[in-house]
Amino acid sequence: MSTATPTPTTEQAARQRRSIVGAFIGTAIEWYDFYIFGTAAALVFGRVFYPEIDPAAALLASFATFWVGFLMRPVGGMVFGHFGDRLGRKNILVITLIMMGTATTLIGVLPTYAQIGIAAPILLILLRGIQGFAVGGEWGGAVLLSTENARAEKKGFAGAWVQQGSPAGSILATVLFIIVSGLPDDQFVQWGWRIPFLLSAVLVIVGLVIRMKVEESQDFVEAKQQQRTVKAPVLVALATAPGLVALGIAASIIGISLAYFTNTFLLAWTTGELAIDRQVMLNILLGMAILQFIWQPIAALIAERVGATRVMVGGLVLATVMVVPFFMAIGAASPTWIAITLYITALGGTAYYALLANALASAFPAHIRYSGISLSYQLCATLIGGSTPLIAQWILVATDGSPWGVASYYAAMLIATIGGVWGLGVAARRRAEPTTD
């Protein structure tokens, strides 16, 4: 008897491994592109693209430009979700990766306001919109490519590795900005900030080589063979599962908002008004990203034993308890206490974030899953997540720099997320229960 042919279990393990690696690498590159824009918006875009207005107003304008990417994310989610549910996950992810990398690289060579006037911020906004359109289709497809090719008992762990793309992208983005921000300030503003954007071209090539080797999702192949694909999956998702979409939006709030609160708004606040050294804050944020990268897979393994919803809600409760100490540390402008309280908060927030992908995917049936999770996640990004730095900065200005108005806003987002996660868990359990005639 020949033993050359791998057993089904071996084949499935290999498929699962390739899918997880392909989804992780591609998602890390796309989040890197998204994070470097947020960091640049906090540190330099106001001076480069909006130099003619007051510095505080320039920062608000920079954050508004940052939000444009989020306004386009649900559009990308609907368009790519439609074709992903109709035509498959893999090819869509190749398109989104190319689109994101091209837009990011072009930002790296974009002329400044001093060189071409008002055309500079207009082009920046257009390229930011393309970034948002691309990432709107990326996340949902990566989640499905990873989880749908995984064994049932490993879907949560597979989804957690997609979520690893966020801290991995953040680590890479922060390290590069730590390096270039060490330049003299005039050189950093003139050309140093462009280097992380230009490196995106190299990363995209690497991502494409890896992603092209990944097989199509098993669940999609089976749905297509059984003719369970639908002509307008976005409309079907809205018509048949509006409650799930609403719960998905609520459950995603902190998952999207936390990174942009810390890496964009908090970075600008602490290095500006609070006068904390730029390198110190970038090092603190780098430490948080490393902690997140280490902790998320551990949280996913814990969830296999005690349940995903319990871990997610428990993590969010911890983050809520830490709101007062965290903002006291910010108010005191103490880098040490900001780091300690931020890292404890991150333990709770990232435990929840690790499991968010599979929690959303588990709630929707396969034939509308790409559209359902993309709608939920990207609508949340537009309505709440992407506007976080802008709203937080507006609250800060309106309260004359007091941290407690921003703290109340932050706590409200945490509480809303807890409600969404709990509701999504109930809905997922009901869907998993066998039906009786």
pLDDT computed for residue 436 by the predictor: 45
Please report the pLDDT score of residue 3 as a whole number: 45
Q: Is the pLDDT of residue 81 over 80?
A: no
Greater confidence (436 vs 29) lies with 29
Amino acid at 22: G
Cβ–Cβ under 8 Å, residues 87 and 395: no
Runs of H (alpha helix) within 148-277: 155-163, 165-180, 185-187, 194-198, 200-211, 218-225, 233-240, 242-251, 253-260, 267-271
Contact 268, 38 (CB under 8 A): no
Backbone angles phi, psi at 272, to 5 degrees: -100, -90
Contact residues for 393 (Cβ-Cβ < 8 A; gap 6+)? 59, 60, 63, 265, 268, 269
Question: For residue 5, what pLDDT is reported?
Answer: 43
Q: Does domain 11-430 have CATH number 1.20.1250.20?
A: yes
Contacts of 155 (CB under 8 A, 6+ apart): 147, 358, 361, 362
Using 50, 70 and 90 to split pLDDT, how confident is the model at 334?
very high
What are the C-alpha distances in Å from 239 to residues 179, 232, 295?
A: 49, 11, 38
Q: pTM for this one? A: 0.72
Flag whether pLDDT at 112 surpasses 60: yes
pLDDT at position 437 = 40
| Domain assignments of the chain as residue spans, ordered by start | 11-430
Average pLDDT taken over every residue of the chain: 82
DSSP 3-state of 189: helix
The pLDDT of 90-103, averaged and rounded, is 83
Residue 222 CB coordination number (10 Å)? 12
Q: Which residue did the predictor score with more confidence, 27 or 313?
A: 313
Q: Per-residue pLDDT tens for 138-161?
A: 767 777 777 766 666 666 677 777
User: What DSSP character marks residue 193?
Assistant: T
Question: Which pLDDT does position 1 carry in this prediction?
Answer: 43
Cα 384 to Cα 353: distance, rounded to the nearest angstrom: 16
